[in-house]
Amino acid sequence: MKKRLLATLLAAAMGLSLLTGCGGGSSSGGGSGEAGTVDTSKEVELVMYVISDRPAGQDIVDENLNKLLKEKLNCTLKINWIGWAEYAQKYPLLFSSGEAFDMAYCAGWLGFSNLARRGAFMELDTMLQQYAPDNYALQSETALAQATVDGHLYAVPTLLPTYTTYGAIYRGDIAAEAGITDTIDTFEEVEQYCDYIVANHPEMEAINEYSSGPETSLVWTRSNGLYDIDANLRFLFYDPSAEHPTVTPLYDLEGATDFYKRMKEWCDKGYWSKSALADTDSQKTQNGKAGLTFHNIDTWSGYTVQQPDWDFKYGTMTKDVAHLPFTQDCMVISNTSKNPERALALWNLITTDQEVYDAFYYGIEGTTYELNDQGQFTILDMDLYSTNAMWAARTMELNRNQAGVPEEYDTIREGWEQTIKDGVGTEKFTGFVLDTTNITTEVAACTNAKQQYGWPLELGYTDDVEASIEEYRQAMKAAGIDKVVEECQKQLDAYIESLGQ
Amino acid sequence: MKKEGFFDEFKKNKALFAMAAPAFILVLVMSYFPMSGLILAFKEYRYNLGVFGSPFNGLQNFGYLFSSGTGWLITRNTILYNLLNLITSQLFAVIIAIFITEIHAKYFKKVTQTVILLPYFISWVVVGVFVFSIFNYETGLINSVIQTFGGEKVNFYMMPMAWPVIICAFNAWKWTGYNSVIYIAAVTGVDGEINEAAAIDGATIFQRIRYITLPSIRPTLVTMILLQVGRILRGDFEMFYQIVGNNGQLFNATDVIDTYVFRSLITNPDIGMTAAATFYQSVLCFAIIIDRQHDREEDRRRLRAVLKKEGKKLWQRMTKI
């Protein structure tokens, strides 16, 4: 008797958990067959997820936007925000919870290819062209290839190119004080600038280093024309200009020992704190507590708006600039979406109609932003609303510069556009997407070893550089770096071969 | 005589069963159903196939924990830290509880108790900032003091062996007050007449504590320890992460299972691999608890032996530096 009851209970339990566990189910494709435009006779509410902290003014911005969308597409849009503090946990859960929603922001750093391969998104092979024809027309072949995983298109890539450059963001006023007139874009010039800060500005650190890890190795490799195999595997590099590039761990690159020794020198000179990895303040440069940050051009333009008096300057330290993958910012349709057609039609509208774009991205003119005569925008109340966090919606045509961004921002980027040639150097590899399915175990272990041994070494926290490099190398070997290198090399070779065809 | 089955039992005690039902259902729904998710540890999770539809991949998910030899290191660290924290926080809690009950000045007693309890309400994030401003090399409190007196600065972030002490101290600081509340209740529950009688017979205060108070609160102590032992393989993630942060040099001495998993998977999240780590911790915890309850007397002896041995080892490690 007892046993039977137990069995019944267990069966009930299993049944219930099956029900709760499989809530997501599978709803694939759908909506094909109807040619041309979308049927807008029925009003629908679309749900979009973006990553950032929800602004206070979201409700009034929504109201304004929805008035417009109701009229143009007979739909409304609800934007849900996942805050910075919780996105790492919550974002992957979006797709596993089975919640029905339509659109989400995605990016390489959110694990786009990983999620796509695991079936989180709806495939858009024919739908994009069908329901978002204007957007489709603007997409480059490279961009679409990057958004294709295992033969299916899983995302709508951004129409605003971003670049692989890393460089020095530094204070123009201090450089002038130090008598440096040339743009600071070499390690020697950085040294000159930092020496001046250490000697004359004891109140600040020369270089902004903090707990999320150093950027110096990236600057060093980029300035030597090397490129990382994947944004999540920044311990493996290759030379895109070589005919047969070899994937090499950072510490085995030519000149790596000298680089690490130089970093130790910088550390000993006091360019950064000896406890940098415990320091969680990432905004030291904007706040006048550090003199230089290694990062990209968009970070720089942000600084210039925040602190116009300090004359922030940008020195490109990348030998061979290329576009970042267009999936760096992209929009994905969830596989739980009930209205993928309408969602794509909405996306088409946002990315090609200035009026809708402004209402979506900047909010309400006169309330959240205003425009000057050059069409640049100013945020009126940072606490109310700044801009939307759906960065993938930006396009070359519709996007506006923030008022106060120096002209160089455009001239530097135009310069890059001129030097970038399709299929040459680093640009040749922007379509390469690494598939880590076979090496997840090793990648996880190597990521950890890099943090444990690579970061301290890169910040010069060691007494004996060569011994520490050897220790790092052994730890990486134990973590399975050889298998990772082998797999990366195999995929890179296959990519090069596929280009040749 | 007819053997009584479940249904006879049920008929007889309907009211009791009805009273137990809510708790039973709650445990079933909140604790037993979610356990079916543990199956993910053996699967390659796919979003469109769900928990039960995803394909199995054997023990592959466990690989990253052990492939590079870190698995044993972090398991050992987790257990040692928890033992150390268990002993210190309970020990201090008992001492504080006895002190507080012996204090007779009412206001002083209340104020002391409140002050000791306060750290419990401070988040580890804030504690992390404290730690950084106390121990950092350039502007840290300790180094500033050392410098003022003309000494050589100490770089704590390059001294792995200092951190077990620091972490343990902060853990005790945070939990002592909270734990002591329970012991205060136990100590106050001791019959006052026994104490008075002992005092009349000439027992000193220490004798009274040793022979009356401590034996009286022993059941509470054992329960508290047993509760903690069940969690011995769960590192207090927030504490370790906020105090140690990303300082690679300290990891060999400070890494616990939870921080290792977090760091390995933060850039490439994988639900299967995270489930594998939880599964590993749960199975070991389960084994320990079952073992614990098997034979308590035997057990206490064994625990004492283990503590003695580990304590000795730890002492040797500390004194070597």
pLDDT tens by residue, chain A, 501 residues: 444 544 544 454 444 444 443 333 333 333 333 445 677 788 899 999 998 888 888 899 999 999 999 988 899 999 999 887 778 778 888 887 778 899 999 988 888 888 888 888 999 998 999 999 999 999 988 888 888 888 899 999 999 888 888 899 999 999 999 988 888 989 999 999 999 999 999 889 999 988 878 889 999 999 998 999 988 888 999 998 888 899 999 999 999 999 999 999 999 999 998 888 888 787 888 888 899 999 988 888 888 888 888 989 999 898 888 888 888 889 999 988 999 999 999 999 999 999 999 999 998 888 888 888 888 888 888 888 888 889 899 988 888 888 888 888 888 888 888 888 877 888 888 878 888 888 888 888 898 889 889 999 999 998 899 999 999 999 999 989 999 999 999 999 998 888 776
Q: What are phi and psi of B283, to 5 degrees?
A: -65, -45
ipTM score for this prediction? 0.72
Class of domain A30-161+326-393: alpha beta
Q: Are strands A248-249 and A167-171 parallel, antiparallel or unpaired?
A: unpaired
**Taking chain B (321 residues) in consecutive chunks of 10 residues, what is each chunk's mean pLDDT?**
72 88 92 85 81 81 78 88 88 90 86 90 90 87 89 85 90 90 87 87 87 87 82 83 83 86 75 86 82 63 70 65 49
Contact B32, A13 (CB under 8 A): yes
CATH of the domain at B233: 1.10.3720.10
Chain B residues touching A212 at Cβ < 8 A: 246
> Which run of H or of E encompasses B192?
helix B192-200
Helix, coil or strand: residue A121: strand
Q: Is the dihedral of CA A46, A50, A55, A61 positive or negative?
A: negative
Helix, coil or strand: residue A292: strand
Pick the closest to residue A350 from A333, A362, A367 (CA basis).
Answer: A362
Give the whole-angstrom CA distance, residue B317 versus residue B321: 7
Chain A residues touching B66 at Cβ < 8 A: none
Residue of B nearest to A463 (CA): B158
Residue of B nearest to A447 (CA): B264
Q: Do B53 and A447 touch (CB under 8 A)?
A: no
CA A445 → CA A69, A122, B43, B69, B184, distances in Å?
48, 31, 19, 10, 46
**Secondary structure letter of residue A204 according to DSSP:** S
Q: Do A18 and B260 touch (CB under 8 A)?
A: no
Q: Do B6 and A16 touch (CB under 8 A)?
A: no
* B31 contact A CB<8A: no
- How many domains would you assign to chain B? 1
Asked, for residue B308, whether it belongs to a domain, the answer is yes
Residues 6+ away with beta carbon under 8 Å from A276: A209, A210, A211, A214, A459
Which of A452, A469, A481, A484 to mutate: most B Cβ within 10 Å?
A452
Q: Fold match between A30-161+326-393 and A167-325+405-429?
A: yes
Task: Determine the Cα angle at A210 with ends A205 and A216, to 5°.
Answer: 85
CA dihedral A241, A245, A251, A256 (to 10 degrees): -30
Contact B54, B60 (CB under 8 A): no
Token reading at A198:
């250490």
Question: Which of A17, A452, A479 faces B248 most closely, judged by CB atoms?
Answer: A452
Chain A residues touching B53 at Cβ < 8 A: 22
* B170 contact A CB<8A: no
Q: Do B47 and A436 touch (CB under 8 A)?
A: no
Chain B residues touching A448 at Cβ < 8 A: 68, 70, 260, 263-264
End-to-end CA distance of chain A: 71
Instruction: In chain B, count H helices and then E strands.
Output: 17, 0
* B129 contact A CB<8A: yes
Give the whole-angstrom CA distance, residue A221 versus residue A259: 10
Q: Please give, rounded to a whole number of angstroms, the shortest distance from the CA of A109 to a CA of chain B.
A: 7
Asked, for residue B211, whether it belongs to a domain, the answer is yes
Pick the closest to residue A223 from A185, A194, A257, A196 (CA basis).
Answer: A185
Q: B137: alpha, beta or left, given left = phi > 0 and alpha = psi -120 to 50?
A: alpha
Query: Which residue type is seen at B11?
Result: K
Q: Do A445 and B249 touch (CB under 8 A)?
A: no
Give the whole-angstrom CA distance, residue A132 versus residue A156: 10
Question: Which of A92, A119, A453 faces B269 most closely, judged by CB atoms?
Answer: A92
Q: Do A111 and B155 touch (CB under 8 A)?
A: no
Residue of A nearest to B54 (CA): A118
Q: Please give, rounded to a whole number of angstroms, the shortest distance from the CA of B90 to a CA of chain A.
A: 29
* Domain limits, chain A: 30-161+326-393, 167-325+405-429
Q: Do A475 and B47 touch (CB under 8 A)?
A: no
Question: Which of A13, A111, A280 faces B32 most closely, judged by CB atoms?
Answer: A13
Give the whole-angstrom CA distance, residue A161 versus residue A163: 7
Residue of A nearest to B44 (CA): A118
Question: Which of B5, B28, B249 faces A456 most closely, judged by CB atoms?
Answer: B249
Q: Do A5 and B247 touch (CB under 8 A)?
A: no
pLDDT tens for each residue of A178-220: 988 888 989 999 999 999 999 999 889 999 988 878 889 999 9
Q: How much is the pLDDT for A35?
A: 41
Q: Are strands A312-316 and A167-171 parallel, antiparallel or unpaired?
A: antiparallel
Q: Do B136 and A273 touch (CB under 8 A)?
A: yes
Residue of B nearest to A450 (CA): B248
Residue of B nearest to A232 (CA): B267
CATH code of domain A167-325+405-429? 3.40.190.10
CB contacts under 8 A, B 184-223 vs A, are none
CA A83 → CA A60, A86, A134, A388, distances in Å?
19, 6, 32, 13
Pick the closest to residue B272 from A441, A98, A232 (CA basis).
Answer: A441
Q: Please give, rounded to a whole number of angstroms, the shortest distance from the CA of B29 to a CA of chain A.
A: 8
**Furthest C-alpha separation in chain A:** 92
Q: Please give, rounded to a whole number of angstroms, the shortest distance from the CA of A489 to a CA of chain B.
A: 20
Contact A26, B48 (CB under 8 A): yes
Residue of A nearest to B50 (CA): A22
Q: Please give, rounded to a whole number of angstroms, the shortest distance from the CA of B115 to a CA of chain A.
A: 28
Q: Which domain holds residue B278?
A: 77-320
| Residue-level length of chain B | 321
Q: Are strands A75-82 and A44-51 parallel, antiparallel or unpaired?
A: parallel
Question: Which of B28, B70, B247 faces A278 most closely, judged by CB atoms?
Answer: B247
Which of B28, B43, B48 to mutate: most A Cβ within 10 Å?
B48
Asked, for residue B48, whether it belongs to a domain, the answer is no
Question: Which of A114, A444, A454 faces B64 most closely, judged by CB atoms?
Answer: A444
Pick the closest to residue A341 from A116, A24, A37, A94 (CA basis).
Answer: A37
